[in-house]
Structure 1
Amino acid sequence: MTATSTTTVEQPARDRLNDPSGVRSVLIALLVVVGSIAAVVVTAASAATALRLTGVPDPGWLTTYGLPVMTVIGQISAAIGFGCVVLAAFFVPAQEDGTLDAGGFRAMRWAATSMIIWVICALAMIPLSISNVSGAPLSETLVPKNLITAYGVVADGRYWLWTAIFAALAAVVARVTMRWGWTFLAMALVFLSLMPSALLGHSSSGGAHDLATNSLILHIVTAALWMGGLLAVLAYAFGDGRWRTLAVSRYSRVAFWCLFIVGISGVINALVRMSLGDLFTTTYGLVAVAKFVAVVIAGLIGGLHRKYTIRELEETDDPRRSLFVRFAAVELVVFAVAFGFGAGLSRTPPPVLGTANVSPMELKIGYNLDGPPTLSKLLFDWRFDLIFGTFAIVAAIVYLRGVYRLHKRGDRWPVGRTVSWLLGCAALLIATSSGFGRYAPAMFSIHMMSHMMLSMLIPVLLVLGGPVTLALRAIPPAGRGNPPGPREWILTAIHSPYSRFITNPFIVVTLFVGSFYVLYLGGLFDAVVENHSAHLLMNLHFLVSGYLFYWLVIGIDPAPRQISPMAKLGVVWGSLPFHAFFGVALMMTGTVIAEAYYRSLQHPWSFDMAADQRMGGGIAWATGEFPLVLVMLALLVQWRRQDDRAARRFDRKEERDDDAELESYNQMLREMNSPVPAAHGDDAVEPKG
């Protein structure tokens, strides 16, 4: 059975979710033990080299081996929490009233327990990280005075504290969640708890750290979903969950793409820090190869596992538990080895240290720029963005697949919408991966060009593509009596209270225009511009806030709030002055925004930063008005089409009732123009006029 099946599924009477043999606990213990052993082995092979290259005193065996062990335990716990939340959100359905069923409820409790363990590990990593960086023994680091002093200096300690905060919030939400909609908040918090790990270690420093960090984000998230989802689904199946066939089927689709992304991102991340010649000649290379082999083996075993598991679940009412245990144990052991290698790899120095022979610009943004931006460089000097560039390509492919599905069954889809969506995806790729994206971190004016494309141009094109309408038409309904699928999830999201809140015109305009003032004129840009994660968040905010704004005012997709064309025009006209004033204020600002950061890049060419900022303000003013004018034209076109549709509905109604309304109106006119009797006498008089 799949998510889009249209046949009614017979359900068991109850959902026991028992585990009398304790298989779930045994598998988790096996994961932790095997992963810890692998991490310790790799660390032992590289610890001496790491100390020699960094020049830091030996902090002692407790720190040296405690770091990788805590890392493995914490990452496995986070992965289990992530997988359990995804299970409750997507793999098993909730009840008709939105309350979690027994499977989803139990999964959220498992997630809460896993995230508490993640909190404990993250807090333990703070003194361990400080001890490792300073070379002081862990006993000295744990002295409160030393710990507080070092915390403000060692960045790793702050990252782990944020991990603990997000993990704690995720644990609380998972523990109290009773309804399906809240699983998404828990999922977002678990995701955020994984992000600081991607910003630590070798990937966050030195040359090409933009590629390394982006690839590590993809790697960590998909690996956690892959392994955590497997354990969650197996635990659900062990407990005789009534939707076990559906859960395994849905997970198998996700696992395939996780395998692909984990493999590709892992290769990219490894090659950033070494050459192909280092793969078999250095400890770092050998561990990276071993981890890749473990991932491939896990993928092959997983394919066989899901193939036979699904067949067993579909063909028998009482599937053999030994089948699950055998495949699950082997696959999870391989997973544990891969996680252990990953933890050990983070403690293994790469062949070339990330900060060796690196220019200030490369150290800050990840690469060098050899000259000022020219038209040819902006158009042809590309550096692929693994996050937004990949999203642009995937979004185009998925959209075309939906159009093909409609075409295959004989339905038509407007060509203009397809062209608009593809142009939006192409613009997103250009804004983040071409010379515009390459120069954006180094020059304020180019940053503003990219900003305007992300917030003003790309959202207009994407909204006019009507992706939600396409999805609702291309994805078949689940069918009466079947668990909800992607189509039902989309409809639920559109009509949720959160969607109604976020599409409130006041909220939308505040996010769209007000964020300009807070970010650039409020000093926030100065504070966060050096962080790679801040650039990712800024780009995401520009894209999402712009999409929400244009979805409200010109969107052709169904929306939680339907406002009249006149109200839409008022929203656009009300936004114009604020946007224009922002551009003017930026041009008139006397101080250079983020001046210290731009000077620290030490550009190999000279340019006036104040003039560059004024140019950025001019770009914000000029390019911001043009899309809004296009929006007003689109609104006028929609207004005319709405009148045309109303006229056609009126004509069809008149045809059905033989022009009854028109005849009634003509009769009224005839009565108004007919002679009326005089006040006295029998003579009739003609009405005046």
Structure 2
Amino acid sequence: MPDSAVGSSERATTGRTAPPGRSAVLAWSAAGLAGAVTLTVVLVLAAGSAAYSVLGYADPGTVTKLGVNLLRLVVDLAGATCVGSLVFSAFFTAPRRSGTVSADGYAALRFGGGAAWVWFGAALLMTVFDTADTAGQPISTVLSPTAVLGLLNALDAPKAWLLSAALALVVALSCHVVLRWRTSMALAGVAALALLPPVFVSHSASNAGHDFATNSLVFHVVTASVWLGVLIAVVAHAWRGGAHPEAVADRYRRLSLGCWTVLAVSGVIDALILVPPRQLFAVDYGTLVLLKVGFLLVLGAAGLLARRRATRTVRSGDAHRGLLRLAGVELAIMTATLGVSMGMTHTPPPNLLDRDSTATELLLGYNLPDAPTLLRFVTMWRLDLVLGTAAIVLAVVYLLGLRRLRARGEHWPVGRTASWLGGCATVLVATSSGLGTYSPALFSVHMTTHVLLNMLAPVLLILGAPVTLALRALPTAERGRPHGPREWLLGIVRSPLLRFLTHPAVAALLVIGSLYGLYLTGLFERVMEEHWAHQLMQLYFLGTGYLYCWMALGTDHAPRRLPHLARLGITLGLMPFMAFFGVIVMSGSTAIAENYYRTLNLPWLPDLLATQQLGGIIGWLGGEVPLLLILVVLLWQWQRSDHAGSARSSEEDADHDEMVARLAESRRG
């Protein structure tokens, strides 16, 4: 199906006309962009060379300083536009029954693809400019390939921009070939990932508290990009007179409220870590934090007023004009706020200048002055902002779905609810209790959290049948209207990618890989040295364990269904690998990640081989117990299936006997 043909008949029959209100949106957008550029230039020039001297760097010159910050402004705008356009295509438009995107979805995809090309080019230039800026050299001195490659090999920040550029290129190329609605959802996820590499080398990733600061900044950056990008996509949609403006306006109102809340919470967390409250009015970074807070409060108030006015305009029948009115003020404020963000990236926070941080704080983000005890495991809580927050949110959402079912008078097994809540509690304990706190410092504790996340929590979560509950609780979207959460969930569950990942061989290989590929190759030490890699490792444990248990248990609506014998065989086949891994770890003569553990410089650190042997035992036994639980569930399911089959067979035999008796009676008559 050629690109130009997508939605041609749809456009011809809708009779769309250009809506009024374009000039106002153009004026607000120009004002916001001018404000962002002005704030960036003023803040960078006002900082002078102080931002470099306090870090021990040389001043690279005005051209380099302005270039790197203005380029970052372009990167942020282009990245937000790309991500928001893809989110709009996937979640704000009504795809066709064939699964292809509508004309509006296609337009958003192409708009996002154009933004991705700008994003790619600007991020590629950022690699060179950030290399010069970080090295404290004028841009003219690093333009040669030899100089760039040499500095690139020694610095982390330019590598992050290079990775972001590569992902943006993948998105840009994909936007030209993607026509399926479900694929646009995956593409939006890839674009969101492309935002993150620079986050992991930012000010928040350094010194004490960087575990909190980095996680909160991930939420902050992704949420801000989605909000600004969707707003731009809404403007483009209204500009071209797109379909379903009322639904778009309603969905955007809900999105903006959620985004504002996440931005406020994550921004407060990040600010409190980077700037102690007593220094908010004493340092330049604190002033920028207060300025950004002011912009956020104005954005919330102005957005609320604009949404009320826009709602009245939409309801009065002028829907597209209402959308443009909704967007104008918010777009100007959000764009101008980017200028403050550029100033914050250029100004080192007090946290970064703290020279008294210990080796443990630099690696973990917090101190561990005392050896672990049972009491400390129970009382030393440090919330994991990613998995810990996810566990709490998922428990609440599950209970809300259960309440909706009960309000309709439908029954839901208590055991499933208890299992789901138990799985969420397991994730919370593994990541945020004393276990999660001491996990990076002791291999035995790490293996405990590994088992909890990779085996026990997934078993409990799958037995809660969350997909089945969601499909029963969520309403079905009206035909011809944009899809809702139920359709999004079905699109994900029925996707070819998820069907591939839940193939028995693939799912089992992913679980085994989390053992042999991580701990026996030296990869574990590299992962533990970076907070983002440690976070990704935990997500991998939970995700691969969930995929495997989803396939093996078969108690929830899944991408593929396997017979009981096949699932039983896969589970039995996995058990020897768990045992063999435990034996390898216990009998090892060299400590895993020895340099990393020594670098922590903990006075109470026990014998590394002794704690490794204990970890091997935990990995062996802790992995076998959940597998035994899966076997018990499988055998129980098999028995129930046989009884149900016998009952159906008996009923069929009785019906057959009755039919034969009636036939004989009729012949005698």
Compute the TM-score of the two structures, normalised by the length of structure 2. Answer: 0.93
**Displacement after TM superposition at 1:125 (Å):** 1.5
Deviations 1:248-276 (A, max 9, x none): 21122121111101111001101101211
SS at 1:587's partner residue? helix
Q: Number of aligned pairs?
A: 653
**Displacement after TM superposition at 1:308 (Å):** 3.0
Gaps of 5+ in 1: 1-9, 668-689
The equivalent of 2:164 in structure 1 is 163
The equivalent of 1:351 in structure 2 is 350
**Displacement after TM superposition at 1:33 (Å):** 2.9
Bigger CA drift: 548-557 or 38-47?
A: 38-47
The equivalent of 2:515 in structure 1 is 516
Task: Output the CA distance in 2 between the equivalents of 1:258 and 1:117.
Answer: 25
Tell whether the 8 Å contact from 2:238 to 2:320 is kept in structure 1 after alignment: no
Tell whether the 8 Å contact from 1:32 to 1:73 is kept in structure 2 after alignment: no
Task: Output the CA distance in 1 between the equivalents of 2:237 and 2:617.
Answer: 58
For residues 18-37 of structure 1, what are the structure 2 equivalents within 5 Å?
29-37=30-38
Bigger CA drift: 135-144 or 352-361?
A: 352-361
Question: Would the alpha carbon gap of residues 109 and 613 (structure 1) be closer, same or farther in structure 2, given more than 3 Å must change?
Answer: same
**Displacement after TM superposition at 1:592 (Å):** 1.7
Bigger CA drift: 436-445 or 458-467?
A: 436-445
**Displacement after TM superposition at 1:297 (Å):** 1.6
The equivalent of 1:264 in structure 2 is 265
Question: Would the alpha carbon gap of residues 466 and 528 (structure 1) be closer, same or farther in structure 2, given more than 3 Å must change?
Answer: same
Tell whether the 8 Å contact from 1:456 to 1:627 is kept in structure 2 after alignment: yes
SS at 2:352's partner residue? coil
Tell whether the 8 Å contact from 2:206 to 2:362 is kept in structure 1 after alignment: yes
Q: What value does the CA root-mean-square deviation take over the aligned residues?
A: 2.3
Bigger CA drift: 123-132 or 261-270?
A: 123-132
The equivalent of 2:81 in structure 1 is 80
Q: 2:655 aligns with which of 660, 663, 670?
A: 660
**Displacement after TM superposition at 1:304 (Å):** 2.7
The equivalent of 2:576 in structure 1 is 577
Question: Would the alpha carbon gap of residues 526 and 320 (structure 1) be closer, same or farther in structure 2, given more than 3 Å must change?
Answer: closer
**One-letter code of the match for 2:434?**
G
Tell whether the 8 Å contact from 1:42 to 1:287 is kept in structure 2 after alignment: no
The percent of aligned pairs where both chains have the same amino acid is 40
Deviations 1:70-101 (A, max 9, x none): 11111111111111000000111111111111
Is 1:620 paired with 2:619?
Answer: yes
**One-letter code of the match for 1:199?**
F
The equivalent of 1:136 in structure 2 is 137
Task: Output the CA distance in 2 between the equivalents of 1:25 and 1:207.
Answer: 44
Question: Would the alpha carbon gap of residues 425 and 11 (structure 1) be closer, same or farther in structure 2, given more than 3 Å must change?
Answer: farther
**Displacement after TM superposition at 1:558 (Å):** 1.5
For residues 145-164 of structure 1, what are the structure 2 equivalents within 5 Å?
145-164=146-165
Task: Output the CA distance in 2 between the equivalents of 1:597 and 1:120.
Answer: 37
Is 1:439 paired with 2:434?
Answer: no
**Displacement after TM superposition at 1:480 (Å):** 4.1
Task: Output the CA distance in 1 between the equivalents of 2:124 and 2:166.
Answer: 9
**Displacement after TM superposition at 1:36 (Å):** 1.9
Question: Would the alpha carbon gap of residues 15 and 242 (structure 1) be closer, same or farther in structure 2, given more than 3 Å must change?
Answer: farther
Question: Would the alpha carbon gap of residues 623 and 282 (structure 1) be closer, same or farther in structure 2, given more than 3 Å must change?
Answer: same
SS at 1:476's partner residue? coil
For residues 638-657 of structure 1, what are the structure 2 equivalents within 5 Å?
638-650=637-649
**Displacement after TM superposition at 1:447 (Å):** 1.0
Task: Output the CA distance in 2 between the equivalents of 1:24 and 1:305.
Answer: 13
Is 1:14 paired with 2:14?
Answer: yes
Tell whether the 8 Å contact from 2:203 to 2:345 is kept in structure 1 after alignment: yes
SS at 2:525's partner residue? helix
The equivalent of 1:225 in structure 2 is 226
Tell whether the 8 Å contact from 1:381 to 1:435 is kept in structure 2 after alignment: yes
Question: Would the alpha carbon gap of residues 133 and 401 (structure 1) be closer, same or farther in structure 2, given more than 3 Å must change?
Answer: same
Deviations 1:19-65 (A, max 9, x none): 89587776655543322222222223333431331232211001222
Task: Output the CA distance in 1 between the equivalents of 2:279 and 2:354.
Answer: 18
**One-letter code of the match for 2:642?**
D
The equivalent of 2:7 in structure 1 is none
Tell whether the 8 Å contact from 1:80 to 1:232 is kept in structure 2 after alignment: yes
Bigger CA drift: 588-597 or 70-79?
A: 588-597
Task: Output the CA distance in 2 between the equivalents of 1:482 and 1:65.
Answer: 46
Larger Rg: 1
Compute the TM-score of the two structures, normalised by the length of structure 1. Answer: 0.90
Tell whether the 8 Å contact from 1:17 to 1:241 is kept in structure 2 after alignment: no
Bigger CA drift: 475-484 or 158-167?
A: 475-484
For residues 405-420 of structure 1, what are the structure 2 equivalents within 5 Å?
405-420=404-419
**One-letter code of the match for 1:362?**
E
Task: Output the CA distance in 1 between the equivalents of 2:539 and 2:165.
Answer: 24
Deviations 1:467-505 (A, max 9, x none): 000001101212445443221222233223223212111
The equivalent of 2:628 in structure 1 is 629
For residues 61-76 of structure 1, what are the structure 2 equivalents within 5 Å?
61-76=62-77
**Displacement after TM superposition at 1:167 (Å):** 0.8
Tell whether the 8 Å contact from 1:80 to 1:229 is kept in structure 2 after alignment: yes
Bigger CA drift: 32-41 or 238-247?
A: 32-41
**One-letter code of the match for 1:459?**
P
Task: Output the CA distance in 2 between the equivalents of 1:631 and 1:617.
Answer: 22
The equivalent of 2:390 in structure 1 is 391
SS at 1:195's partner residue? coil
The equivalent of 1:299 in structure 2 is 300
